[in-house]
């Protein structure tokens, strides 16, 4: 049986607040005014170091937010799928990537961790 103390954070799902600090739906139109995608070259390097050539890589941007990272990745990878639990954020991301070949976007939320215990930090 799962005990709430095992996961101190509230579940992230439709109907649950995404953050106690920010209303993402309300913030989404202006979200990028105060944030930039940092380290995109590191992300691209990590994907390129994988077993599939960068131009053929299928990338999932989970919790894509407004798509700042996705906008950099999409023209360089084979296909890109974006997921976010907030429709406002996802709508901004969709506009950034239109029209982009091989890009898809879907409203989705992570409801729970596949593990019932915390991972080891060794």
The predicted structure's pLDDT at residue 1:
42
78-122 pLDDT, tens per residue? 999 998 888 899 999 988 886 666 777 777 765 544 444 444 434
Report whether 72 contacts 96 (CB < 8 A).
no
pLDDT at 101: 64
Average confidence (pLDDT) over 6-18: 49
In a 13 Å sphere around the CA of 29, the CA atoms on its Cβ side amount to 1
12 C-beta neighbours (distance < 10 Å), count: 15
User: What is the mean predicted confidence (pLDDT) over 51-66?
Assistant: 92
Question: Average pLDDT in the 59-70 region?
Answer: 92
Q: 87 or 7, which is more confident? A: 87
Evaluate if pTM is beyond 0.75.
Answer: no
Beta carbons within 10 angstroms of residue 64's beta carbon: 27
Judged against a pLDDT cut of 60, whether residue 7 lies above it is answered with no
Q: Report pLDDT for 113.
A: 46
């Amino acid at each position: 049986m799962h005990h709430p103390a095992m996961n101190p954070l509230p579940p992230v799902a439709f109907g649950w607040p995404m953050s106690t600090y920010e209303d993402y739906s309300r913030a989404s139109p202006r979200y990028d005014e105060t944030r930039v995608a940092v380290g995109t070259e590191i992300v691209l390097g990590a994907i390129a170091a994988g077993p599939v050539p960068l131009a053929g890589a299928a990338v999932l941007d989970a919790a894509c937010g407004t798509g700042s990272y996705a906008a950099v990745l999409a023209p360089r990878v084979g296909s890109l799928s974006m997921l976010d639990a907030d429709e406002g954020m996802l709508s901004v991301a969709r506009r950034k990537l239109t029209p982009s070949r091989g890009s898809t976007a879907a409203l989705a939320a992570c409801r729970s961790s596949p593990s019932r215990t915390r991972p080891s930090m060794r």
